[in-house]
Structure 1
Amino acid sequence: MTTLDTGLLVDDDELYLRTLQRSLARRGLETRTATTIAEALRIADDMRPSFALLDLKLGSDDSGLTLIKPLRALRADMRILLVTGYASVATAVDAIKRGADDYLPKPATADMIMRALGLEKAEAVTIESTMIPLHRLEWEHIQQALHETGGNVSAAARLLNMHRRSLQRKLAKRPGPERGPEPD
């Protein structure tokens, strides 16, 4: 086993956490899970993990970005990976500036995490399996704008630099099963 053998998984989606934890356990990694910032800090202080996987959005108000600094203070050599379904250049840059080691789009698979931790060679990567469909990215970007504006469609349209009616049309075309998974 490598020096990256214990980890902390932080996400508000408990099903995703359990599934990911089992997948990583099959690869020899011991992990503990947390669904809140307070719980994550308590567990990290107790176990001093060698790596942490943090979801960007925790619940409706919290962000995994706020965990980077205190986790880094607990253990300077901890590998910190940020995962999000709201992938954007701005959040990736912010995460790296705050001290994250890598940034992965959701859903991050165990293989993607193993590669980001340097525990698997990148030659096994297939681009098709890691790409998020464009309509999904667009939908998540719109949802992020709506969240940031408190659900105000006019304000979200201004934030997205688009006409309000165009945004309303896109919202009416919510992705269905035939076009890929529904956004969370």
Structure 2
Amino acid sequence: MRLLIIEDDESLASTLSRRLTKQGFICNVAHTSQQALVLAEQITPTHLLLDMKLADENGMALLTPLRGLLPQCHIVLLTGFASIATAVEAMRLGANDYLTKPVDMPTLVNALCPNTDLPTEVVSASDTVMSAERLEWEHIQQVLHCNQGNISATARQLNMHRRTLQRKLQKKPVKR
């Protein structure tokens, strides 16, 4: 199983590659859309993990050319900002699955290889299920990071009053 990971965050790409190698994949990594298309043609992966946001590019724009190059490839789109509209659009453009970050390894492996019994890392149930408070905190942190720490812009994007956001940011993150 040859897997091409298309992710602009080098540390996340490296972590995914290490973990998925343990699951039996032969992993290759691309950090830009140009690298992705070249590698896809060279290695003809059987599976593809595509980030929706690649620096200033939209990963969904790669779905059509990748599907043209790799008609039999199983493509999973990863995103930090999920919506029903983007999920529908991703499937229409050729993605086989659509997952929201953060994603646990069993869910990711199952999305990459549905209906197979691949061995997955031993993970306790408490590690795979996050509380709603933890998910909210992580989402706020992602949006804050995307807005380069700008509280007002983050509050507007989250449709939240700025003071409410400041109070939430002062709290310590809840345990997973």
TM-score (norm 1): 0.71
Any stretches of 5+ residues in structure 1 without a counterpart?
none
The alpha-carbon deviation at position 52 of structure 1 amounts to 0.5
Letter of the aligned partner of 1:24 in structure 2?
A: L
Between 16-25 and 142-151, report the one with greater CA deviation. 142-151
Query: What is the rounded CA distance, in whole Å, between the counterparts of 2:16 and 2:155 in structure 1?
Result: 35
Residue correspondence of structure 1 range 98-113 to structure 2 within 5 A = 98-113=93-108
Q: 1:173 aligns with which of 148, 153, 171?
A: 171
Q: Distance in 2 between matches of 1:44 and 1:82?
A: 15
Give the direction of change, closer, same or farther, for the CA distance of 1:97–1:152 in structure 2 (3 Å limit): farther
Which residue of structure 1 aligns with residue 19 of structure 2?
23
* TM-aligned CA deviation for residue 43 of structure 1: 0.6
Superposition CA RMSD, Å: 3.3
Per the TM alignment, residue 74 of structure 1 is displaced from its structure 2 partner at its CA by 0.8
1:114·1:120 contact (CA, 8 Å) conserved in 2?
no
Q: How many residues align?
A: 172
- 2:79 is matched with 84
Q: Tell me: CA distance 1:21–1:146, structure 2 relative to 1, closer, same or farther (3 Å).
A: closer
Q: Distance in 2 between matches of 1:146 and 1:18?
A: 23
Whichever residue aligns with residue 71 of structure 2, its letter is A
- 1:72 aligned partner, one-letter code: R
Task: Report Cα offsets for 1:19-60 as digits up to 9, x if no partner.
Answer: 33233333332221112222111111212211100123333x
Q: 4+ residue runs of structure 1 moved beyond 6 angstroms? A: 147-150
Q: 1:168 to 1:98 in 2, by over 3 A?
A: farther
Give the 5 Å matches for 1:142-181: 142-143=140-141, 145-146=143-144, 153-173=151-171, 175=173, 179-180=174-175
**2:109 pairs with 1:114:** yes
Distance, in Å, in 1 between the alignment partners of 2:19 and 2:155 is 40
Q: In the TM superposition, what is the alpha-carbon distance from 1:153 to its structure 2 partner?
A: 3.8
